[in-house]
Each structure stands twice: as C-alpha cells, then as structure tokens.
Chains A and B, each alone.
Chain A
Amino acid sequence: MLVVFNIIRIHNLISNTPTFIERGTVNVEYARALQQALSVNLTQVATIVIVGVGMTLVVATGGIDLSVGAVMAIAGQIAPLIFLGPIADRFGMGVANFLALTVPIAVAAGFGLMNGLMVTKLRFQPIIATLVVFIGGRGIAQVLTNGYLQPFKNPSFQYIALGRPLGIPTQVYIMFAVVLLALFLVRRTAFGRYVLAIGGNERAARLAGVPVGRVKTLVYVISGALAGIAGLIVVAINAASDANLNGMNMELDAIAATAVGGTPLTGGHANIVGTLLGALLIQLVRYSLISIGVPYEFALVVNAFIILLAVYFQRQRAA
C-alpha cells in the first residue's frame, strides 16, 4: 500500500508535470511513463532484493553479513575468467557458460560457509567474521584479474540480466523466485522455524535440541550464494566485470532494505516481503530524485531520512 502510494507520488515528481493526471483519467503517456519507471526500478532493485533476502535470514538469527558486496565482486570476476578463458576454447561456449553460472555461485557459497564457520566454530562475532571477508574478499577479487576490468560480449550469459521473457527482465524473475523461495523457507520449513527460534532466544533453542551451529552456518551459506547470483547479474548488465565497483556498498543497501522492511536487527523475525518493499522504497526514491535532476548527494540525504523515518515508525508500532 505504502509503496503503491509512493510510486504514484514519486511518479508525479518524475514526470514533473502535474497536468499529466487529469481528474479521473490517466492518459496513455502517463501509463507508459509509469511502466518505464517501474521497469527501470525493478531492474535496479533486483540485486538489492536478492542480497537483502539473504541478509534478512542472517539478521533473523541475530547475525549480520558485511561480506556480501565483496562476495559479489569475487563471483563477478570469476564468471568472465571462465568463459573468456581456455575452458571455452576446449569445451565450447555451452559448457563454459554453464560453469560461469554455477562455479561463481558455489565459490560465493563457500565464502558464506567460511563466515558461518567463523561465527559458529571460532565464535567470532558475526560483524567481525564477515568484516574479515569484506576486507579480504575485494582484494581477492582484484587479484583475480590483476585489477583490470574484463569487458566482454556474451549474450547467452548476459541473458540473466538482459533477457526479457514476456517483456520483463530475467533478473526480475530471479528476484521474485528468490523472494518466494525464502518465504517458503521461513514459513513452511523446520529450518525457517529454527532460524527464528535461534534469533529469538538462542539458549532456549539449544535446549530444545535445535542444531544451532548448523542452522547458523547455513544462513551464511545462503547469504553468500545469493550475493554470488547478484554479482553475476551486475557483470551481465555491465558487460564487464569490475572488481572495484561490483557490489560496492551493497552490504549497506541490503541492511537498510532489511531494516526498513521491518526485520529488527536484534533477530527473531524475518520479514521477507518487507525487505522487498524496503529495497523498492529506497531504490524508487533514489532513482526518482536523480531522474528529476536532484543531485546524487542530495538524494543520499533523502535516502538516509527515509531509512530513519521507516525505522522510527516501526519502533513506534512495536512499542
């Protein structure tokens, strides 16, 4: 509801011509502009949502994952290395593209596993454990290609971002699939109950026989894998992998989307739909302001303000 209201209101800003809406009628031009705005926004927001869903699961256990942006960069660097390298020459593009879509995600999940083991086995605080990968991960991504940009043209691979089945970008399908899967996970599976029980009262969960270590490790693996998917989408959109920029500040956007979406950072709740809406809200406002010519710096300030308000109102509602 809130978001629909915002889309309309923001759209008024975008068009910057209030006369677009004439009392009681919406003209064709308006409809097209709206569709375009939504489409652009959904495209931009898909990666935030995909990463945000993983973040929401981690946060629900009472943890946090700062490594997602760096993991995106790593995944994004590996894919072109595969389809631009000798594998493609030897086994053909089909095999190379398959590997370019699976290996980076597996590696990303591996970094998630590392985060999870640091948290559960070494008992590092989540913020520290994932900070380690946050710092080292981007370094690894840069080393993979000696810091060089890898430009490419690979339509089959890029289909994950640029394909438009039924006129909607593929990544939007991926985004909704991730959201639906996560919803299913949280609401219907034992794993989902365990996640919430651990975040709500870890000691009680342990005494009720919940495999606390395994569940916690797994949420970091999921978060890592989702970051891997997002990293691939970003390089596919850009037709180039850039270890310096891929996933930059993504951890902050994902945490913001999670918080704005109504998942408290203290754990025990996982509002997946909220994270989707939170990401949309943040993205819509940012895009809209920039598109009407508001300077980027100012848009950031507005963004911050929205996060502040959203979290404040949730506090009020909770109290």
Chain B
Amino acid sequence: MDSPDVLLQMRDICKIFPGNVALDNASLEVRRGEVHALVGQNGAGKSTMIKILTGAYQRDGGSILFDGRAVAFRSPADAQHNGISTIYQEINLVPLRSVAENIMLGKEPTRLGMIDWRKMNATAGELLRHVGIEVDVTRPLAEFNIAIQQMVAIARAVSFKSQLVVMDEPTSSLDDQEVETLFDTIRRLKANGVAVIFISHRLDELFAICDRVTIMRDGKTIETRDVKNIRKLELVSRMLGREIGEVQRGATSFTRAGERTAGETILEVEGVESDTILRNVSLDVRQGEIIGLAGLLGAGRTETARAIFGADPITAGEIRLKGKLLRMGSPANAIKAGIGYCSEDRKAEGIVPELSVADNMVLAALPHISRNGLVSAEKRRQIVEEFVRVLGIKTSSPDQPIRELSGGNQQKVLLARWLCLHPELLILDEPTRGIDVGAKGEIQKIVSQLAENGVGVLMITSEIEELTEGSDRVFVMRDGASVAELTEGEISQGAIMTAMAAEAGSHSAEGEGAGAQGAVV
C-alpha cells in the first residue's frame, strides 16, 4: 500500500451513445497483482467500461494508461496481444476443437510449416497445470463443463502473458465447488503478479476474493474502496445510490385513492426450484395488491417471474392460482389461466418491431377476437382505440410500426397487450426501466389503478422508491431464494437493503423490519 504499483489507469472516460451518456468521466485504477471488483446495477456502465478498455468500443473522451504507456486498443484482439485478456460468461472459444487447439489458437507451434501436435499438446497441458487443472487436452472442449472451459479460457489468457485478466460474471453458471476451483486459479494468477478485474453480482464472492472494489452508478465511478473496509450494506446502498436511512418521498407517481383492501389470495408460490437459479422461492399475491419483488441483479427475480408464467419449467415446489395448482409449462396456458407478463427486456422479449402498434397490442388477444381463425376487424379496432385513448399512447396511427415509438409508448402498448385480456395477475418486470420520466410516472399511475380495480400485481423493480412508495408488501430475493417478506409498516429502504445484502440481522427482517432498519442506521 505504500507504493502501489499501478498497472492500469483509466481516467475521465466518457462514452456517448445516441440519446444517452453511457459513461460520464468514469475512472478506474488497478494495481499489479490485485483482484479488483467492479460493481453496479444494470446499466451502471460496467460493461461499457470494460469494452472501452479492451477496444470493443472506442471512447469519446478520457485517457487510458496501461503498464506505463498511453493506449487505445483497436479491438479485443489488439488488447489481448498487449496483455489484457477477457473471460466472458459465455465462453467464446471453439467448442468442437480440442482443448489444446483452443488454448493455442492463433499461435500453434509449427515444424516445417506443419502443426507440431506433440509440442502443442505439451504446451497446452503445461499451461493448464499452471492454472491448476489437469485434463486430456486432446478431447474437444465441448466435452467439459463450463468451469473447465473457463479454466481453458484463463489458460489461454495466461499464454498471452496477460498482465490483466478481465472476468465478466465468471461464476454465474458455476456450482460452489467450481467457484472454489476458479478462486484457486485467481489466487495463482495473483501470486504471479497478474491483476484481475472481477465483475460479479454475488457479493459473498466479491468479499471472498477481491482486494479492492470500484462502485459504478449511472455511468459514473462513485468510489474505490478496500474490500476489508466496507460493509455489504454500505456497498449495496452505494450501488443503489441511496444514503442509508434516507427516504425520498414523492419520487414516484403511485397513487392510493383510498385504503386499498387486499382481497382473496390469487397467487401462491411455495418452495419453487428450477434449473435456472431458483433454490427456494415462496411468495403470495392477493387481489388488489401491488407486491414488490426486490433483489440485486442475478438474485432470481426475473427467473421467478418466468417460472410463474410457465416460460421456464420448475423442478420442485408449487405454484397455485386461486388455489388451483398450475401445471402449465407454457405461457399460452398461463395466459389462459389469467396471468400476464411484461418482460424486462422490451426489445428482445416484448415488441415485434416490424409489426404495427395495433398488431402488437392485440397479439395475445387474437384468440379472443377471432372466430374460426378470422380476426374481427371491428373488435380489433375497438381494443386499439380504447387503449390508445386510456393509456395515452402517442402514435401517428395504429398502423405505425411499433419500433418507431418511444420506449415509454412501446411499454404502454405492451401493457395494453395484457390489460385488454383483463388478467387476474399481472407480472411486471422492471416496467419503468429505460423510459423517460414523464412516461414513467404515467405507468406508475396505471399500475396503481390496476390494483384498485382488483388486479394482483407482482412488480419486479430495482428502484427503491417504487418498492417503498408503490408496493403494499415487498418480497426480497437473494441468490435464487426469497429471503424476506416486508409488510406495510416494515417497508423501508433500510430494511430492503439489509435483506438484499444479507447483512447480519437481515433474516429477522421478516418480523421486525423497523428493528433491522434501526440496526442499520
């Protein structure tokens, strides 16, 4: 610490995409032989930062000093040849070629112009032992599990004499033992003076392996701290941008026309597990309630929504709708049962960009407005007119392609897709992400009205205010399990963050939210 040996210095990095500033004077300093965590919520700018470092994007401002000289890599390959390797969560190697070929790809040892297989396999084996594993390097890469494939990627990185290895969520598909193997490898790299940038949403891992942490939020780097000097709860509050105990009132447009009375239970989820990441999820939603589902990225909120909606199969547990066990396995059946689901990824899973506003809106309702397969133009027009008016959708005509609409208006069309079916349960996954402030408020109002009309709403959101002001109850998830339920009087930023961060005392948050919050402040 006396004379920190700085390997990488990224200063005042700016990156502007059309319509949004992705990085705003972000800075990052990494020392030789340290494991440096980069954390932040979705959209905080972590991956943009990494892409600029490795040359996948070009920066619009700022400077990068690597190993003492100013650099501007043209491509990830360029960065790799200069000592920076990146390990992605999806392995970007060649699955059908052998382990050795993958490690040595692009620098195969040759003899008289022919590949020297013996030397290649020997060198590859050597490199793998170096990162702590021993496998048959002549077998195709695809035969090995993800953890081994990651080690292969790391061995490849080492073979480039990398001084810095960037790991983007390397543990997301590993089990506990595989994570340990990865950590051993990271410790070996560290011992050899290699620096590692470690991106992960699992706070426990971050505290287990990292030396320092840089927190990003809204395209800015908030601060860099020694991991041993920061508490989980503090880290979470920095990521979310809230001072502990601070409450912002009136930050959202949720309304409460009167005392909302929760009716009978619509949805019960009990002990659900899945092949994705769900370990033990239990929650319930009653008529006329807005239930907030909180958790850090990767906690399993979206996976829970998809499981309820039948988009992913569950391996254990029960999901009941109005007391009736749901055995569906397809969104079509969930819709028939009265469930609607707005995905968090509007572009990839919501809109059909080339189709019109009207076609997008009635897509799920087609079975109801057609007879013998023939769509009733009249019923279609009625639905479209009604919801364009009620939701205030700004479109030049119902026949306009939806891709031409703003994000907020697209989101309203997708809401209308479900509202026109009059669902009993509506699952909204980040309903206000990526849309402008005005549309955000309007959507929050719509959600409130839905609850008043007796719809049960399960709302996944990363915005603390939407949880504290919009929700009647909040369930908090962590590492694939629901870990706390906060009822009306217990919902506070402190209590939510405590449960998210798994700080000591969080497990009691269920019964004594106020107490937990007191402990935090």
Q: B297 — which chain A residues lie within 8 A by C-beta?
A: none
Complex Cα distance, B364 from A299, in Å, reads 48
Which A residue's beta carbon lies closest to that of B333?
A209
Say if the beta carbon of A17 comes within 8 Å of chain B.
no
Determine if A209 and B353 form an interchain contact, defined as CB atoms under 8 angstroms apart. no
Among the listed stretches A31-39, A97-105, A196-204, which one makes contact with chain B, having 4 or more residues with CB under 8 Å of it?
A: A196-204
Given contacts A204-B348, A204-B351, 8 further A-B contacts (CB under 8 A): A188-B374, A189-B373, A193-B375, A196-B352, A207-B309, A209-B335, A268-B354, A268-B355
- Tell me whether A196 and B355 are in contact in the complex, defined as CB-CB below 8 angstroms, given that A189-B375, A205-B363 are known contacts: yes
**Range for the number of chain B residues in contact with chain A:** 20 to 34
Does B482 belong to the interface (CB within 8 Å)?
no
Complex alpha-carbon distance, A208 and B352, angstroms: 10
Q: How many A-B residue pairs have CB under 8 A?
A: 76
- Scoring B335, B354, B359, B375 by chain A CB atoms within 10 A of each residue's CB, the highest score goes to B354
Verify if B248 is at the interface (C-beta below 8 Å from A).
no
CB of A193 within 8 A of CB of B359, answer: yes
Which residues on the A side are within 8 Å of B332 (C-beta)?
209-211
Binary flags per residue of B201-216, CB closer than 8 Å to A gives 1, else 0: 0000000000000000
- A1, B366: Cα distance in complex, Å: 35
Whether B176 sits at the interface, judged by CB under 8 Å, is: no
Minimum CB–CB distance for A245 against chain B, Å: 38
| 0/1 string, A299-312, CB within 8 A of B gives 1 | 00000000000000
The answer to whether A207 touches B341, judged by C-beta atoms less than 8 angstroms apart, is: yes
Q: Closest residue to B370 on the A side, CB-wise?
A: A190
Q: Which residue of B lies closest to A203 (CB)?
A: B349
A200 near B364 (CB under 8 angstroms)?
no
Closest CB in chain A relative to B28 CB, distance in Å? 34
Task: Compute how far the CA of A194 lies from the CA of B355 in the bound complex, rounded to whole angstroms.
Answer: 11
- CB-contact partner of A201 in B311, B353, B377, B417, under 8 A: B353
Verify A269–B354 contact, CB threshold 8 A.
Answer: yes
Query: Interface code B413-453, partner A: CB below 8 Å = 1, 0 otherwise?
Result: 00001000000000000000000000000000000000000
Asked if A207 and B349 sit within 8 Å, CB to CB, the answer is: yes
Cβ of B505 < 8 Å from any Cβ of A? no
| Contact indicator A208/B354 (Cβ below 8 Å) | no
B350 at the A/B interface (Cβ < 8 Å)?
A: yes
Residues in A with CB closer than 8 Å to B355 are 193, 196-197, 200, 268
Interfacial chain B residues near A269, Cβ < 8 Å: 354
- Complexed CA–CA distance, A16 and B233 (Å): 86
Closest to A184 in B: B374
Query: Known interface pairs A196-B355, A197-B352, A201-B352. Does A191 touch B373 (Cβ–Cβ under 8 Å)?
Result: yes
In the complex, whether A164 has a CB less than 8 A from a CB of chain B is: no
Asked if B367 CB lies within 8 Å of chain A CBs, one says: yes
Is A208 in contact with B370, judged by CB distance below 8 angstroms?
Answer: no
User: Is B331 interfacial (CB 8 A cutoff)?
Assistant: yes
* Residues B349-386 near A (CB distance < 8 A): 349-355, 359, 363-364, 366-367, 370, 373-375, 377
Q: Is A153 part of the contact surface with B, judged by Cβ < 8 Å? A: no
Q: How far is the CA of A268 from the CA of B360 in the complex (A)?
A: 13
Minimum distance in angstroms from B288 CB to a CB of chain A: 25
Chain B: CB-nearest residue to A198:
B352
Does chain B have a CB within 8 A of A206?
A: yes
Q: How far is the CB of A249 from chain B (nearest CB, A)?
A: 30
Q: Which residues of A contact B150 (CB under 8 A)?
A: none
Contact, CB under 8 Å: A200 / B353: yes
CA separation between A206 and B353, bound complex, in Å? Answer: 15
Q: Do A205 and B352 touch (CB < 8 A)?
A: yes
Type the 1/0 row for B374-408, where 1 means its CB is closer than 8 Å to any CB of A: 11010000000000000000000000000000000
Cα distance, A201 to B353, chains bound together (Å): 8
What distance in Å separates the Cβ of B415 from its nearest Cβ neighbour in chain A? 13
> CA separation between A182 and B350, bound complex, in Å?
27
Please list the 5 inter-chain residue pairs (A to B) with the smallest Cβ-Cβ separation, ordered nearest first: A200-B352, A209-B335, A209-B332, A190-B366, A208-B364
Contacts of A208 in B (CB 8 A): 331, 335, 363-364, 417
Candidate in A196, A197, A209 with the most chain B CB atoms within 10 angstroms: A209
Q: How far is the CA of A268 from the CA of B354 in the complex (A)?
A: 7
